[in-house]
Every structure is written in C-alpha cells, then in structure tokens.
Amino acid sequence: MKARHFVDSVTLHAIAGNGGNGCVSFRREKFVPKGGPDGGDGGRGGHVILKGDSNTDSLVNYFFVPVQRAEHGGHGRGQKQHGRNGRDLILKVPLGTMVFDKATGKLLGDIVEHGQELVVARGGRGGLGNCHWKRASHQAPTEHTDGEPGEDVLLQLELKLCADVGLVGFPNAGKSSLLAKLTEAHPKIAAYPFTTLNPIIGTLITDDYAHIRIADIPGLVEGAHAGIALGHDFLRHIERTRALVYVIDMAGTDGRPPHEDYKKLRQELKLHRADLLERPALVVANKMDLADAAKNLKAFRRKTRIKPIPVSALTGEGINELCAAIVALFSTLQTHSAVGASHTASDSSDDS
C-alpha cells in the first residue's frame, strides 16, 4: 500500500451548476382547444459545498483534481413540469480547513466541526417557463428566460490541524516516539532530522473514555518564524492546539544544551505569535535512559527554574506520569471552556 501524501494548502476551482432553461410549451389536448401556455421552469444548478469530516486528514484529493463541478439543473418541460434541480457537489475536507478567495485573500469560512458545511459556489437559478407571461391580452406568450450560470470561483484552501495538545520540539527530540507511546498512532521514527514531514495526530483515551487529540508537529528549528526549513508549515498547525507539550532532548544528543533548546523553542513561538506562550503547557525531559541525561536535567532545573517530567520514550519510563499530567491539563482546559461558556450565557441573558 502506497503512503498517502499530506497536503495542507491547495488551490480549488469550484464551478457550480447552471440553472436549467424555462420551457415554451402550449397545452394540446383533443377536447381542450385553447389550453394555453404550460411551459415549466428550469431547475436550480447544484451548489459546491465544503463539508468538515473528522475522518479526512489531508487536502490531497484536490491537489490532484483541482477543478470540481456541480451538476447543471434540468430544463423545464411542458405541462408545467419543473426541471430537476442539479445535485449539489459535497467535498469533504479535514477539520481545520480555512477557505480564502484566491483573488482577494478574503477569508470565506473556517471549517472546524464534523458535519459543518460551507457553500462556496452557488448554483444558478432556473429560468422561467412561458406560463408566467399569460395575460388576458396575451393568450399565447412565447417568452421565457434561460437559466442563470452557476458561480465560478477560485479558492485557496489551507489546513491548520485541530488538536487538544501539540508536541513541540527540535528535530530528534523524540516527539514521534512519545506519540507512539501515548496513543495508537504509528508515525515514522528514525535517528535523523525531519523524520516527520507532516503533522500526525493520535488519540489518547483516558480511563473515563475522554478522547484527547495529540499532534506530533514537524520539528522546529531556529529561524522557523522566518520560514526556515519547515517553519511556516510547523507554525501554521501549532496555532490551533489548545495546549503545548515541550519535548526536550535531555541527553543533548545533537550537542546542544537542553536549557538552550527550551529557550529557543519559546523564542520561535514568540516571534511567530506571542500569545502562543500563554497556552497551558508541560515540559518533558525525554531520553532519560541515555548518558548525561541525569546531569543535564539538574542543570536544566537550575537554569530555567522548571521541573520537567522525566521520561524515556524508548523504555517507557515516566510515560504513565506524563499521561496523567496530560489528562490533568486537559481537564483544566475543559473546566475553563465550561466556565467561559456559562459566563457568555449569563452575559447574554443580562443583556436581554
């Protein structure tokens, strides 16, 4: 089975269906000598609709087939028969898809919920049949109107994955290995930079069956805010996470002091969007099974005043403690969301 490409930005040409033409017809029956006009209206053209789908994880389908057309409406017929409406074309997109007008850059919609629909190109209205022109002084009208053309739009779709928790770290910090330990996801794991070239989401299921979506985002490097390496591709996706987990290579296998890695990660996030530093966060000291990790952990605590959660994605050390910390963090997020919703409802009732 071939690997499925991950695509997070595509141009989509959406063409709605044309409306059907109105009909010119006259009623002709043996015992109805003056039946009059009975031409029916044309059907509406099909809309092009984007629909959020939690089982879709990439925009790859529209990368290979960028032109999508809805069905035209049927023409009207005699006996005042209305033309068939064109079928709407429903295109499934991942949650987190932002839809822009390609020409103006205007944001048309943001699809973040399963089943959410956004009409991006409306079908043309059907034309009118000649029955609409019948008057006492105009008994045999031949006027009718043609159907309107459907909208023809050029869109830019950009994907920012939705996740509860985002794993942040430099290449080789062990984020993919951690995700595999925490969830049922199976990301590619190897000992070289940029093993993960696209975001991968796994789900941590808690004891009370809550589902926490954890995203392994491509490795960050210094200068990512300026577009270096996978910079913007990484940062686009981290914006949607509700909380962050900083994954630090505490063994310093790439020759960098762990406390410096942490500071640089924070700096890159700040330079891209300062409010990212305000997200709830955990700090994880990974690779504690390797030499120098224990010594580096002491130095890290001393220099940052932070007590990270020591783990080893290889041996499983500390994974249970990390799971518990993520669950507690998630519970806090849920509580804050509920409180915010109740305050909003209270404010609305006060205004009324």
DSSP 217: P
Q: Is the pLDDT of residue 299 over 70?
A: yes
Of 2 and 125, the one with more pLDDT: 125
Question: Residue 6: is its pLDDT beyond 70?
Answer: no
Structure tokens at 190: 């190897």
Taking the C-alpha atoms of residue 317 and residue 171, their distance in angstroms, rounded to an integer, is: 21
**279 exposure class (CB count in 10 Å sphere: 0-12, 13-18, 19+):** middle
How far apart CA 81 and CA 148 sit, in angstroms, is 18
Place of tokens 């939705």: 162
At 349, the pLDDT band (50, 70, 90 cuts) reads: very low
Q: Which CATH class is domain 1-26+37-131+140-159?
A: mainly beta
The DSSP secondary-structure symbol of 198 reads S
Which pLDDT does position 226 carry in this prediction? Answer: 40
pLDDT at 65: 95
Quickly list DSSP for 220-273.
Answer: P-TTGGGT-TTHHHHHHHHTT-SEEEEEEETT-TTS--HHHHHHHHHHHHHHH-
User: Across all residues in the chain, what is the average pLDDT?
Assistant: 84
Query: Is residue 302 predicted with pLDDT exceeding 90?
Result: yes
Domain extent listing, the chain? 1-26+37-131+140-159, 165-344
The alpha helices in the chain, defined as continuous H runs, are 60-64, 175-182, 231-238, 258-272, 293-304, 319-351
Which residue has 């029916």 as its token pair?
40
Task: Report whether pLDDT(344) > 50.
Answer: no
- The pLDDT tens digits for 175-220 are 888 988 888 755 444 343 433 445 677 888 888 878 888 888 765 5
pLDDT at position 28:
83
Q: What is the pLDDT of residues 17-38, one digit of tens each?
A: 999 999 999 988 777 777 889 9
User: Looking at the predicted structure, is the pLDDT value of residue 272 above 70?
Assistant: yes
pLDDT given at position 150: 98
CATH architecture of 165-344: 3-Layer(aba) Sandwich (3.40)
* Phi-psi region at 104: left, alpha or beta (left = phi > 0; alpha = psi -120 to 50): alpha
- Tell me, yes or no, if the pTM score tops 0.95: no
The backbone torsions φ and ψ at residue 350, rounded to the nearest 5 degrees and listed phi first, read -65, -40
pLDDT in tens, 101-159: 999 999 999 998 999 999 999 999 999 999 999 998 998 999 999 999 999 999 999 88
